[in-house]
Amino acid sequence: MNFKIGLPLFFIFICGIKIGYSQTQADKKPLKNYGQNGDAIIEYIIESVAENLGEDFDYTEMVDRLNYYRKSPLNLNKATKAQLSELVFLNQVQINDLLNHIAKNGKLINVLELQSINSLDLETIKNLLYFADINRPTGFEDFSLKNMLSRGTSDLLVRYQRGIEPQKGYNIPADSKNSRYLGTPDRIFTRFRFNYNNNVQLSINVEKDAGEQYWATTGKKGPDFYSGSLYLKDIRAFKKIVIGDYALQFGQGLTMWSGLAFGKGADIFTVAKQDLGLRSYTSVNEFSFFRGFATQINAGKFEFTPFISKQNIDASAVFNPVTQEDEISSLQQSGLHRTESEIKGKGRISQLVYGGNLQFKNKRFSIGATAYQSNYSQSFAPGTDVYSKYDFTKNQLTNVGLNYNYSIKNTYFYGEAAHSLGYGFAFVNGLISSLSPIVSFVAFHRDYQKDYQSYYNQAISENTTAKNERGFYSGLQIKPNKKFEFITYIDAFRFPWLKYLVDAPSGGYDIFSQFAFIPNKQARFTLRYRIRNKEQNSPLSTSTRFLESVRRQNFRLEAQYQVNKSFTLRNRIEVMAFKEESDKQRYGFMAYQDVNYSPLSSKFSGNVRLTMFQTENFDTRIYAYESDVLYGFSIPAYQNQGIRFYVNGRYTLRRGVDFWIRYALTQYSNLTTIGSGLDEINGNQKSEIKLQARIQF
């Protein structure tokens, strides 16, 4: 296949179509059919909030939530603050305005009323109406076991996934002493859900990653990863009960936040975290969840959430010659158990976590306290480097925290103070304010001490955890009318203590701005620029170490347009410029074309993407969110030079029976082997297939 000539032609072809249609189709579509179907709306929401998460992160938790409301829309007249917070694209000012509007003017009678709420712009209303409407029965109103069995819905999903080109790790003979992958290259995922009115939810996930054994024979027997939970809601004072795997999210994530959390991104308001308290854990990220029992009890304006969790977690070990005992050198979060050594670390230590959260919630004001203790069966080993001087080195840690939020007029204040007993403190305080009907503002200050310790801390930070950092973030969103939108944020930070590869206190800034032009309901153009400046050890350092600045700049241009009722197209061009002070500027480039086919009434839908990329090195790699099968996620980093192609297809056999297929291929023009170590592929081509089936009954 000769892609080199094909690609430019393809772009020209697509652009040609676009011009032909955009004139004639303008402004004929109803509100709901705005150039993207439901999956696309969810995808768009994920992409705007998920700027900084890793390549293989599982967003199921959020997609589940959104899909649930898509199927059984939330009744806005009865929705609680917590439920509205689950719709991640709403910010706290918008939620408060909506609730105040209903409190003041009575129940919404028509969805058009939403437009009279200042902080709700048209796009937000459009997204909101996708997941909510204004009259729907809610709750346990007519609960009985019979009803539950007859009206409950079950959902069984199986996914199979496999890389096609053989990787080195699978072809090492078992009798050689070398490290090798013990399992097959297949990735198999099974998930089952039972749901009754959102009040009873049973969830089971079983998964094996590529390289893992489906039924482990070495180490712990059985499937590599399984997770399950039973979630009950609204049983008298018990607002929530979870038996099995669960996640906890309180305050701003400084003290306790497990599962999905967002960082800085194109949706600037997500920096004010909307805590959802106790949730069942339904993703397959094999870390950052709890296993045990938790419940939320409501008494008047108080909510009390006690929890206990005991599980074995993955860790690598190091021998301490002083105590003559093994200690934890690091916790492993990848959830991969493919080789002898990875299996050895699997569930190597046991962890017991227990504690509680007490929250007082008023209409405008909320304050809460969290306290918990975590116990590990072994101590953490002290690091040998100066930068790890303040790391945690015991086997028992107690965390306490205090969080608040307060709404007054057009402003929402929020914050949290946290302390790890015997160690440091951490603080975050911020506000969101709609300064005028078209200008919204967000700002927060953070101060995380270098010896603040928490293994369930996901507060907003430039570092991977909220520790050893001070900073101030401010952002603006300006939406003068429905055609233009401007978003910008500026974040400046200092790291008071040393970091890995940074042998002195350092600092930097991150500036982001995005301009969107939405000429009509079919088209959207976005221009984005981001510059990040940090410090790291200079390669010129010899006897004396000193720092140099590292600058990353991203330029992105994106166009999305609906050609007709069935076809939507999207292009993106992105350039990354990376400059180390002592080196010349290096560049990365990526361009892609999407074709999305989703007719309103057809059994088939699907999409195709062709990407061309060329990057000078690892530092100039470019990330892009890719469409995937339902509940499948992929945000690969493009590096080196080549093309990537993928196709997604969905076929609905009948209501409740769906099939998906995905094929992805990357072809490198400057490589003869791909990857390294056990993942190495001989050749310049890497491809993968995914098959998925779902039955709902």
Partner 1 sequence: MQDVWSVQKNQAGIAALKKPIASLAYENRFLIKEISTKSAGVAIPVNKYVLGAAFQSYGVNAYNETRGGLTLARAFSPKLLTAISVNYHQLQITNYGNAQAFSVEVGVQYQALKNLWLAAHIANPNSSKFGTNTDQIIPAHIQFGGSYTFSDKLIISTEFEKILDSQADFKTGLEYKVIKAFALRGGVSMNPFKQYAGFGLELQDLMFDFGISSHPILGYSPQISLGYEF
Strands (E), 16-81: 74-75
Task: Tell me the residue type at 386.
Answer: V
Place of tokens 């509007």: 101
Nearer to partner 1, 172 or 439 (CB): 439
Spatial distance between the Cα atoms of 85 and 71, rounded to a whole number of angstroms: 18
Q: Give min distance, CB of 486 to partner 1, in A.
A: 10
Stretch touching partner 1 by CB under 8 A, among 312-320, 430-438, 615-623, 673-681: 430-438
Q: Is 509 in the site for partner 1 (CB under 8 A)?
A: yes
For partner 1, which is the closer residue by CB, 317 or 439?
A: 439
Residue 180: CB partners within 8 Å, gap ≥ 6?
169, 170, 172, 174, 339, 678
Query: Backbone phi, then psi, for 148, in 5-degree steps?
Result: -60, -45
Q: Of the two residues 15 and 492, which places its CB atom closer to partner 1 in the complex?
A: 492
Least distance from partner 1 to the Cβ atom of residue 228, Å: 48
Residues 6+ apart with CB under 8 A from 144: none
Beta strands in 134-273 (DSSP E): 153-163, 186-196, 200-208, 225-235, 238-249
* Adjacent-strand bridge partners of 37: none
CB of residue 436 to partner 1, shortest distance in Å: 4
The CA distance from 506 to 492, in Å, is: 11
The neighbouring-strand residues paired with 297 are 238, 304
CB 336 within 8 A of CB 211: yes
Instruction: Tell me: does residue 511 bind partner 1 (CB under 8 A).
Output: yes
Binder among 438, 527, 557, 637 for partner 1 (CB under 8 A): 438
Minimum distance, C-beta of residue 438 to partner 1, in the bound complex (Å): 6
AA identity, residue 214: Y
Nearer to partner 1, 508 or 588 (CB): 508
Which part of the chain contacts partner 1 (CB under 8 A), choosing from 132-140, 188-196, 348-356, 431-439?
A: 431-439
CB of 16 to partner 1, least distance (A): 37
Cβ contact 271:459 at 8 Å: no
502 DSSP assignment? B
Partner residues linked to 574 by β-bridges: 556, 590
Taking the least distance from each CB to partner 1, the nearer of 294 and 443 is: 443
| Position among 386, 435, 504, 657 found at the interface with partner 1 (CB under 8 A) | 435
Asked if residue 39 lies in contact with residue 650, where contact means CB atoms within 8 angstroms, the answer is: no
- In angstroms, the CA 407 to CA 416 distance is 15
- Which of 439, 630, 647, 691 contacts partner 1 by CB under 8 A? 439
Q: How far apart are CA 631 and CA 57, in angstroms?
A: 11
Q: Which of 11, 143, 472, 555 binds partner 1 (CB under 8 A)?
A: 472
Select the span of 92-100, 382-390, 435-443, 615-623 touching partner 1 (CB under 8 A).
435-443
The answer to whether 484 contacts partner 1 (rule: CB under 8 A) is no
Q: Is residue 395 involved in binding partner 1 (CB under 8 A)?
A: no
Would you say 667 and 681 are in contact if contact means Cβ atoms under 8 Å apart?
Answer: no
Select 372 or 441, whichever has its Cβ closest to partner 1.
441
Stretch that binds partner 1, among 29-37, 291-299, 432-440, 515-523 (CB under 8 A): 432-440
Single out the residue of 235, 490, 573, 689 in contact with partner 1 (rule: CB under 8 A): 490
For partner 1, give the closer residue by CB, 225 or 448. 448
CA distance 529 to 681: 35
| First-to-last C-alpha distance (Å) of the chain | 44
Q: Give residue 560's identity as a one-letter amino acid code.
A: Q
Q: Is 507 in the site for partner 1 (CB under 8 A)?
A: yes
Rank residues 39 and 491 by Cβ distance to partner 1 and give the closer one: 491
User: Taking CB under 8 A as the criterion, which residues in 186-205 touch partner 1?
Assistant: none
Q: Is 476 in the site for partner 1 (CB under 8 A)?
A: yes
Kindly state whether residue 684 participates in binding partner 1, applying the rule CB under 8 A: no
Q: Does 577 bind partner 1 (CB under 8 A)?
A: no
According to the binding rule CB under 8 A, does residue 443 interact with partner 1? yes
**β-bridge mates for residue 556, sequence order:** 528, 574
Q: What's phi and psi for 105, nearest 5 deg?
A: -105, 5
CB of 274 to partner 1, least distance (A): 24
685: contact with partner 1 by CB under 8 A: no
CA distance 595 to 607: 5
Q: Using the minimum distance from each CB to partner 1, give the nearer residue, 413 or 651.
A: 413
Exactly one of 362, 396, 436, 564 binds partner 1 (CB under 8 A); which one?
A: 436
Strand 681-682, strand 315-320: pairing: unpaired
579 near partner 1, rule: CB under 8 A: no
Exposure of 604 by Cβ count < 10 A (0-12 exposed, 13-18 middle, 19+ buried)? exposed
Cβ 583 to partner 1 shortest distance, Å: 21
481 binds partner 1 (CB under 8 A): no
Residue with Cβ nearer partner 1 (432 or 569)? 432
> What's the burial of 22, exposed, middle or buried (CB within 10 Å: 0-12/13-18/19+)?
middle
Angstrom distance (rounded) from CA 454 to CA 397: 8
- DSSP category for residue 107: S
Stretch of 170-178, 448-456, 506-514, 645-653 contacting partner 1, by CB under 8 A: 506-514
**Cβ contacts of residue 203 below 8 Å, gap of 6+?**
191, 192, 193, 194, 227, 228, 229, 230, 231, 244, 280, 282
- Distance CA(548)–CA(541), nearest Å, equals 10
Q: How far apart are CA 317 and CA 381, in angstroms?
A: 9
Minimum distance from CB of 490 to partner 1 (Å)?
5
User: Of 288, 320, 330, 474, which lies in the binding site for partner 1, with binding defined by CB under 8 A?
Assistant: 474
Residues 512-571 close enough to bind partner 1 by CB under 8 A: 533
Q: From the list 111, 117, 492, 577, which residue makes contact with partner 1 (rule: CB under 8 A)?
A: 492
CB of 511 to partner 1, least distance (A): 7
Interacting span for partner 1 (CB under 8 A) from 165-173, 352-360, 376-384, 468-476: 468-476
- H helix or E strand, kind and range, residue 481: strand 469-481
219 binds partner 1 (CB under 8 A): no
Binding mask 644-663 for partner 1 (x = CB under 8 A): --------------------
Least distance to partner 1, CB of residue 588, Å: 23
- Count of residues engaged in binding partner 1, rule: CB under 8 A: 20
User: Residue from 18, 81, 126, 494 that binds partner 1 (CB under 8 A)?
Assistant: 494
Q: Interface with partner 1 by CB under 8 A: which residues? A: 433, 435-439, 441, 443, 472, 474, 476, 478, 490, 492, 494, 507-509, 511, 533
